[in-house]
Amino acid sequence: MRTLKVMMAYRGTAYHGFQIQNNGITVQEVTQRCVSKVLGAPSVIHGCSRTDAGVHARQFCFSVQTESRISTLGFVRGVNGELPQDISILSCEDAPEDFHARFSCVGKEYCYRMHCSESKDPFTTDLALHYRRPFRAALVQEAAQQLVGTHDFRSFCSSCAENTNTVRTIHSIDVEIDGQRAEILVKGDGFLYNMVRILVGTLLDINEGRIPADALGTILAARDRSAAGRTAPAHGLYLNRVFYDLPALLQ
């Protein structure tokens, strides 16, 4: 039995997230069907993350076990030949048999992308948040550093059960701006449901003066979703990188 480690990218606009659901088509459903066809047997793919409906991925990992002797290049070419245009296999490699895309992952980086302009960009309608207000990148960058480190992020989680472990470590938050394009990059060891979208929405509320710039410590301490800001729309969010090597995550 072989275990394949596969990197992919997808545009999440048409999908109800990655994980198979009963209420709509998902990335896993479509990809799994194509993988099974290429491997010549029913196959189950295991993703590194669930991702919400409408969220995109620049780099997403899944693992699959197979008895097929197909080459890794043959797998990439074969599955890409079956997939729709909004999903792409980037690479494939043989991994240790116990490798699992989710449980072997040591960290992820998310990117939230915005188009900062009074006028909308028709080429990024479903790929970036159209943000009309002035974006004060330096203010947001400085405020965001209050979230770096190990904290209880319950205030930044939607629908977290009381017994859920909500402690996570954020290794870095960086704000990058180039003309009308702005990106907020968040790297950490793991993320709660809607955590990055709530984090970004709260930073945008700080940008707009709705929340004081020094309030993030108080929001964390509240351990209450109502203490944080709004949830940013899904279409601006990307799973940007996944890490299976701790030094790469920490650099």
- 117 exposed, middle or buried (CB, 10 Å; 0-12, 13-18, 19+)? middle
Which sequence positions are flagged as catalytic?
Answer: 52
Question: Would you say 39 and 68 are in contact if contact means Cβ atoms under 8 Å apart?
Answer: yes
Radius of gyration, CA atoms only, the chain = 19
- 105 exposed, middle or buried (CB, 10 Å; 0-12, 13-18, 19+)? middle
